[in-house]
Amino acid sequence: MLTPKHPRSAYFHVPFCQHRCGYCDFTLVAQKDHLIEAYLEAMAKQTSELGEGIELSTLFLGGGTPTHLSIDQLTRLFEIIFSHFQLADDYEFSIEANPLNLTPEKIDFLKQSGVNRVSLGVQSFDSDILTFLERDHKPDEIFEIVTSLQSRISNTSLDLIFAVPGQSLDGWKQTLRDAVQLNIPHISTYGLTIEKGTSFWSREQAGLLHLPQDELAGDMYEFALEFLDEAGLQHYEISNFARPGYECRHNEVYWTGYPYYGFGPGAASYLNGVRRQNHRSVITWLKRVQAGDSPIVDQEELAPETRAREAIIFGLRRRAGINRREFQERYGFDLHQLSETAIRTNVEAGLLEETDTHLKLTKAGCLLADSVVVDIL
Ligand code: SF4
């Protein structure tokens, strides 16, 4: 099976937030709403060479916080997008949202605009943890907003963070119970990591912030695996859980190596076998587009073996793992031919499992996925 030439997925990066949370190193600016007009003009310019009526199965607006834009600004962004793209009959149109942005008016607007999946940056139902993470919402507000959202757009996902300094295992269990009680069909869970350049990084360097021990973080992850499975949310990717039929189709495109468009600062695209990456600085991206210069900072035509190795990395993230026969047909390599020793040692260590048809991470392997991937590379 060859990788299709024509992408049916597109990502638009909206790099605005009210405040930069202490742990966040995403491509965004905070307190710079005066740049939104220039951003919209740049997005119109960036997409101007596309044709019309390009059909998409999945469309994803991420950030930043796309819902930080006003209804008028979102209307203009959607006009830009839909002057080139149209949604297929069975489409998925996702948007990332901050709970407090979701007024009933904005939810109605999103629904009328065709949005049929909302990914909410909830992070926790514990007010102390929310304060620590510098989030602006309170647990009570989340219940109200999610209920209001689900009455209009039922395909809702919550992002939750674990292994936060000061968070107990019991506290994490309660957050998961609260999420499940809301009858959410999709949950993403991420262990807190401290990224260079963030304010949490500075605090950690100064000895003012200590992440929980790996053992506690592991217990939290394992509890999530068991609890969410019992609640009917299947573990379909290392960090993602969904009721059947609610898996994020857009992310599946990334994990299965299919092509996609990407627009905006920091966005990547994968077209005709070429991976391109836009500049991560919002200001530099804007200046380059305004000046008519390319905002691309990195471009690579993937060699067959590189593509195959990337497919292993992404394929192992999925709980279904890698179908060995399909892998060979699509990439022209046998898995063992590429990584014989790493596969054997990780199978022996109980981190990888090999069946007649598939290679996949075990539960223990999910906890140590990064080291398995490094071995395989
Ligand atoms: S709201 Fe989300 S994207 Fe914005 S700064 Fe906080 S974590 Fe980052």
How far apart, in whole angstroms, are the C-alpha atoms of residue 95 and residue 81?
13
Is any ligand 1 atom within 6 A of the Cβ of residue 121?
yes
Is any ligand 1 atom within 6 A of the Cβ of residue 98?
yes
Is any ligand 1 atom within 6 A of the Cβ of residue 14?
no
Q: Which residues of 38-61 are buried (b: 16+ CB within 10 A; e: fewer)?
A: ebbebbbebbeeeeeeeebbbbbb
Is any ligand 1 atom within 6 A of the Cβ of residue 122?
no
Tell the residue number behind the tokens 């602006």, with chain if given. Answer: 136
Provide the residue-wise pLDDT of the chain in tens; the chain has 377 residues. 344 567 999 999 999 999 999 999 999 999 999 999 999 999 999 999 999 999 999 999 999 999 999 999 999 999 999 999 999 999 999 999 999 999 999 999 999 999 999 999 999 999 999 999 999 999 999 999 999 999 999 999 999 999 999 999 999 999 999 999 999 999 999 999 999 999 999 999 999 999 999 999 999 999 999 999 999 999 999 999 999 999 999 999 999 999 999 999 999 999 999 999 999 999 999 999 999 999 999 999 999 999 999 999 999 999 999 999 999 999 999 998 898 999 999 999 999 999 999 999 999 999 899 889 888 87
DSSP string, 24-49: --SS-EES-GGGHHHHHHHHHHHHTT
Instruction: Give per-residue pLDDT as tens, 167-211.
Output: 999 999 999 999 999 999 999 999 999 999 999 999 999 999 999
Which atom, in ligand 1's list, is nearest to the CA of 30? Answer: 5
Is any ligand 1 atom within 6 A of the Cβ of residue 21?
yes
Which atom, in ligand 1's list, is nearest to the CA of 135? Answer: 6
Please tell me the residue having the least CA distance from ligand 1 atom 6. 21
Residue in 25, 26, 133 to alter for ligand 1 test, most ligand atoms within 8 A of Cβ: 26
Which atom, in ligand 1's list, is nearest to the CA of 123? Answer: 7
Q: 315-376 — its CATH code?
A: 1.10.10
Instruction: Give per-residue pLDDT as tens, 134-150.
Output: 999 999 999 999 999 99
Task: State in words which class domain 9-255 has.
Answer: alpha beta
Provide the mean pLDDT of the chain.
Answer: 95
